[in-house]
Amino acid sequence: MKFMTKWIKKTIKGLLARRGYSVTWCQPGVPSGLDLRGDLQILVRSENPVILDVGANRGQTIEMLCGTFDAPQIIAFEPSGAVFGELQRTHGGRCRDLFHMALGAHDEVKEFINYERSEFSSLRRLAPSALHEFSEIKVRSVEKVQVRSLDSLFPELGIAEIDLLKIDTQGHDLDVLNGARMLFQQGRVKRVLVEMNFVPMYEGEGSALEIMTFLDSQQLSLVDLYEKSHGGGVLTWCTALFQRVDK
């Protein structure tokens, strides 16, 4: 009987694998790394968590968060003028606050590059490279935007701490983290959800290793990797979730 059960399990797993599926046992109440929404619900216990969405684009993450938590207090940031107007119309009512600005390492005014595909728009230029397929995306426009550091802006937000800091700023993510050093040192940032590129895409961007090293130095440990993308048999980018662990 034991042999038969083992054979049946192996056969079913083999059939599923040939169709691109797998079966994994998940320990109840422990993040699995398979479902970002489910893992956030396990880790973030507040009914109305304070969440900063840095690089909100058209509200994709806002949609996910509103489907994950009952009453999230979302403070969103989007520097692109055209995209911000759309975001305000479609998701303004779902946010506690919505800011037309970028976050970075310092308070300053910088040029923001709007690409034809808005999800690639950034304070940094796409790097010409044979390692990724996006270097030929055309620039649509360039505009001046206000950049604030999170340390500088935080007293104006009217919050005590951040349950989740989500950062997707297309190569500018390490700058956002560096602009929040004081908040990290004070333990006010509990979790970080950040996009990491393992293949360089933008000129002068912070690497995945630099991002992980920074967060480790601020007592945030890696929970898991999500939304993984592969190219040429290697991991090219992903979304990484980190949680504060007092060491």
Domains and CATH numbers, the chain: 34-126+134-244 (3.40.50.150)
Q: How far apart are CA 5 and CA 88, in angstroms?
A: 55
pLDDT the model gives residue 18: 66
> What does each C-alpha distance from 77 to 21, 93, 175 come to in angstroms?
36, 14, 15
Whole-model pTM?
Answer: 0.89
pLDDT the model gives residue 26: 66
> Along the chain (247 residues), what's the average pLDDT of each consecutive run of 10 residues?
59 63 68 90 93 96 94 97 94 95 97 93 84 78 97 97 97 97 97 93 93 97 94 88 87
pLDDT the model gives residue 208: 95
Q: Find where tokens 């996910």 sit.
A: 64
Specify whether the CB–CB gap between 51 and 166 falls below 8 A.
yes
Tell me the residue length of the chain.
Answer: 247
Strands 108-115 and 102-104: unpaired
Those residues whose C-beta lies under 8 Å from the C-beta of residue 209, and which sit 6 or more positions away, are none
pLDDT the model gives residue 46: 87
Q: How far apart are CA 187 and CA 56, in angstroms?
A: 24
